[in-house]
Chain A
Amino acid sequence: MAKRFLTIWFRHLTTDWLTLRQPSLAKLPFVTAAPDHGRMVVAASSPAAQAENIHPGMALADARALLPGLRVFDEQADLGVKLLTALGHWCIRFSPGVALDLPDGLTLDVTGCAHLWGGEGPYLKEILQRLRGSGYQARGALTESSAASWALAHFGTTSPLVEPGNLASVLYPLPVAALRLPAATLERLRTLGLYQVGQVAGLPRAALRRRFGQELLLRMDQVLGREEERLEWLIPPEAYQERLPCLEPIVTGTGIEIALRRLLEAICARLQREGKGLRKAVLKCYRVDHIVKEIGIGTTHPSHQVEHLFRLFEEKIPTLEPGLGIELFTLDASGVEEAPPLQESLWNPPPGTDDRELAQLVDRLESKLGAGTVRRYLPAEHHWPERSFQPAASLRDQPSLPWPQNRPRPPRLLTPPRPIEVTAPVPDYPPMLFRYQNVLHKIRLADGPERVETEWWIEEGEHRDYYNVEDEQGKRYWLFRAGHYAGDKPATWFLHGFFE
């Protein structure tokens, strides 16, 4: 799935906050100032002050000269970070992946979130409107790369929504400052007459690297979505990892097994809680002599069953060399997927019987030949032959109803039923002859008809009248006629199975 990133830029983060605290400031020009190299410098200016050309970075004395009535507040260190963190937590409702973009923005990984709000347009509008409603001036942009979103949020003049693949055309007219480069590099670019991103993008990469270093190229790649930017998430996704330090170094196989079992129990409990299953796991053994030994397993189906996973590991434990002893075990679940809960009990041995070996066998077959290779079947409440049985969810499931014995069914069923030519007296007599694959069978004995009605709530179709016939050589077949005899069209007959 293509990634989508949303960047929100709070243009007047601290001044907006001050306005919220003191509503009387709303239309007034004011700044916050902090000491810098022995003088006071403007750290943030309100919209009204910016209208008077007072910008952050200016000496406070100059600002006062421009606007004698300017109100000045002390800059509070860390205020921006605190505000952004609070806003970031508020944004979790829109996406689980929220990263701070210091000093005055947020980046959201919104991949797969927008459809809940009915598309990216309404989604973006909702976020920005709610932020503006709460008193923050926010600009946002939604593109396939976080760097491009940043550039558009800060410098964009067109639509803040960019469809995948259209990045270049939107970004090229933007000023080079959109690349988030250090001031020195920006200055050099400007002296060279490179004002727009497009101009830089047109230059050969080797020349750019020589003159401006790797950073410019990296930024270009990030903006154009060729490279992913590393983001620090506000709530980091928790890695599926468990650790088990040992008081005494472990040297025996039994010890390793106990450690492995404990780690698996811990990790499986968490996976089960979250409805996930493990696909890949690595057991790392940190030895006393600083050598790390590891064994890995993979499953074909997401699993959070301790027994199952333990058995997969068990075969590899003998390959571990404990050396002087293992002092730390870690278990990383590097591949985790959503696991449907229904297969869970397949690996639990039923009470009373020890079918460990059986489960092992099923496991081995399934891990090599794919999940679903080995199945048990239970009767289903359907008369329609194709639906009269269903796969059991586990090795332990017991049939809830008995297998029907009064209606003989053939051991070999043809799917789909093969059409045959039949001669049969009307209306309901069994056929006298039928021809299948160019062989004529004369029917000697027959049972039937057994009518099986179509299950109209599942599928449409005609009912079947089944006959259980035996030809002169003693070969036995299961035939049926689909539907009633109709005057105008010939009846359709099928061969559906071979009786023993």
Chain B
Amino acid sequence: MASTKQDLLRQLQRDILPLQGLRSPARGDRIEVGLGPVEAAFPNGTFPTGGIHDFISMGPEQDAASVGFIAALIGKLMERGGPCVWMGAPGAVFPPALIRFGLPPDKVLFASIRREKDQLWALEEALKCEKLSAVLGEIRDLSFTDSRRLQLAVEKSRVTGFLLRTNPRQEASVACLARWRITPLPTEARRGKPGRGFPRWKVELLKVRNGLPGAWQLEWSHGKFSEVLTEVITQEQLQRKTG
């Protein structure tokens, strides 16, 4: 009886999602972004494309970590084909760095725009273009209305949009599918090798539409995400401390 009740609930939930404007991807259209456990937080257990993901960063270090994380996501999204547009202030991102996240810099259209008003307009125009696989806008502040406009543009074109807001005045004023915060974590030196390890982040999902927010530790190594299990780290650290 309990199982049937649960099945019923799951079925109802599945029915509600499309009513709420969330279109489930067609069969075979599901994109593997390789986020592992993070993906389970999203409805249907899939990283939602065709919507706006909002990234908040405080300070240049978080900002750089977000750039890396988003570049890795866009790299995965672009495997389907279709270039991406990276919009920001002139000279904001250093193109040769993107290759380490599986995003070939020559497949990215960099739009350097100074004025925020122009940025918003350009972002909306880019999000309307169906041939793109992703659009990233580095924009500091935008109003709720502006974000709704972007959301509407995306709903039609099914492009995945990323907003990267560094030091925003207001955190939660943006309509989006998910709000993220990426914080750099101390890396683990590779065994037997000096120097730094693979980039490691604390990935926080502050808000997910129809999903479950949470926090995870991920590492980017050999072109894919892998979850870092905290217990293991503590044990290793313990070992190092004791031994």
In the bound complex, how far is the Cα of B126 from the Cα of A357, in angstroms? Answer: 10
In the bound complex, how far is the Cα of B105 from the Cα of A392, in angstroms? Answer: 11
A residues in contact with B95, CB < 8 Å: 377, 389
Q: What is the minimal beta-carbon distance from A479 to any residue of chain B, in angstroms?
A: 13
- Whether A357 contacts B105 by the Cβ 8 Å rule is no
Which of A374, A468, A498 contacts B60, CB < 8 Å? A498
Tell me if B16 counts as interface (CB < 8 A to partner A). no
Which of A364, A403, A412 contacts B93, CB < 8 Å? A412
In the complex, which range does the number of interface residues on chain B fall in? Answer: 35 or more
B residues in contact with A472, CB < 8 Å: 186
In the bound complex, how far is the Cα of B65 from the Cα of A476, in angstroms? Answer: 9
- Whether B130 contacts A357 by the Cβ 8 Å rule is yes
A residues in contact with B83, CB < 8 Å: 358
In the bound complex, how far is the Cα of B199 from the Cα of A468, in angstroms? Answer: 12
- Whether A412 contacts B196 by the Cβ 8 Å rule is no
Tell me if A202 counts as interface (CB < 8 A to partner B). no
Question: Contacting chain A: which of B22-30, B32-40, B66-74?
Answer: B66-74
Question: Contacting chain B: which of A231-239, A265-273, A365-373?
Answer: A365-373
- Whether A470 contacts B187 by the Cβ 8 Å rule is yes
| A410-B109 in contact given A358-B129, A358-B132, A415-B91 (Cβ < 8 Å) | no
Q: What is the minimal beta-carbon distance from B241 to any residue of chain A, in angstroms?
A: 15
- Whether B93 contacts A368 by the Cβ 8 Å rule is no
Tell me if A413 counts as interface (CB < 8 A to partner B). yes
B residues in contact with A469, CB < 8 Å: 196
Residue of A nearest to B65 (CB): A500
In the bound complex, how far is the Cα of B132 from the Cα of A357, in angstroms? Answer: 9
Number of A-B contacts (CB under 8 A): 156
For window 80-124 of B, CB contacts with A under 8 Å fall at 83, 85, 91-101, 104-106, 108-113, 118, 121-122
- Whether B196 contacts A445 by the Cβ 8 Å rule is yes
Residue of B nearest to A474 (CB): B186
Please encode chain A, from 328 to 363, with 1 for each CB lying within 8 Å of some chain B CB and 0 for all others: 000000000000000000000000001101101110
Tell me if A140 counts as interface (CB < 8 A to partner B). no
A residues in contact with B64, CB < 8 Å: 410-412, 476, 497-500
| A411-B97 in contact given A361-B125, A472-B186 (Cβ < 8 Å) | yes
B residues in contact with A58, CB < 8 Å: none
Q: What is the minimal beta-carbon distance from B131 to any residue of chain A, in angstroms?
A: 5
A residues in contact with B220, CB < 8 Å: 500
Residue of A nearest to B105 (CB): A377
- Whether B184 contacts A500 by the Cβ 8 Å rule is yes
Please encode chain A, from 361 to 404, with 1 for each CB lying within 8 Å of some chain B CB and 0 for all others: 11011001100011111110000010011001000011100011
Tell me if B192 counts as interface (CB < 8 A to partner A). no
Q: Interface size of A by Cβ–Cβ distance < 8 Å?
A: 52
| A412-B67 in contact given A403-B99, A445-B189, A447-B195 (Cβ < 8 Å) | yes
In the bound complex, how far is the Cα of B128 from the Cα of A357, in angstroms? Answer: 10
Q: What is the minimal beta-carbon distance from B157 to any residue of chain A, in angstroms?
A: 10
- Whether A364 contacts B125 by the Cβ 8 Å rule is yes
- Whether A368 contacts B118 by the Cβ 8 Å rule is yes
Tell me if A435 counts as interface (CB < 8 A to partner B). no
In the bound complex, how far is the Cα of B113 from the Cα of A399, in angstroms? Answer: 25
Q: What is the minimal beta-carbon distance from A363 to any residue of chain B, in angstroms?
A: 10
- Whether A403 contacts B105 by the Cβ 8 Å rule is yes
Which of A354, A398, A411, A468 contacts B106, CB < 8 Å? A398
For window 165-189 of B, CB contacts with A under 8 Å fall at 183-187, 189
- Whether A355 contacts B67 by the Cβ 8 Å rule is no
Q: What is the minimal beta-carbon distance from A472 to any residue of chain B, in angstroms?
A: 7
In the bound complex, how far is the Cα of B132 from the Cα of A413, in angstroms? Answer: 26
Tell me if B63 counts as interface (CB < 8 A to partner A). yes
Residue of B nearest to A445 (CB): B196
Please encode chain A, from 442 to 468, with 1 for each CB lying within 8 Å of some chain B CB and 0 for all others: 001111100000000000000000001
Q: Show 27 residue pairs from A and B whose CB-CB distance is below 8 angstroms, ordered by the A residue.
A: A361-B85, A361-B125, A361-B132, A365-B126, A368-B121, A369-B122, A374-B111, A376-B108, A376-B110, A377-B95, A388-B96, A389-B96, A392-B106, A403-B104, A404-B96, A409-B94, A411-B64, A412-B94, A413-B91, A445-B189, A470-B187, A472-B186, A474-B185, A476-B196, A499-B64, A500-B64, A500-B201
- Top-6 shortest CB links A-B: A500-B68, A498-B64, A474-B186, A447-B195, A413-B94, A475-B61
Instruction: Give residues in B with beta carbon < 8 Å to A.
Output: 60-61, 63-65, 67-69, 71, 83, 85, 91-101, 104-106, 108-113, 118, 121-122, 125-126, 129-132, 183-187, 189, 194-197, 199-201, 220
20 further A-B contacts with Cβ under 8 Å, apart from A361-B132, A411-B68, A445-B195, are A360-B129, A368-B118, A374-B111, A375-B111, A379-B96, A379-B106, A389-B96, A409-B100, A410-B64, A411-B64, A411-B67, A411-B98, A412-B92, A412-B94, A445-B187, A445-B196, A469-B196, A473-B184, A476-B199, A499-B184
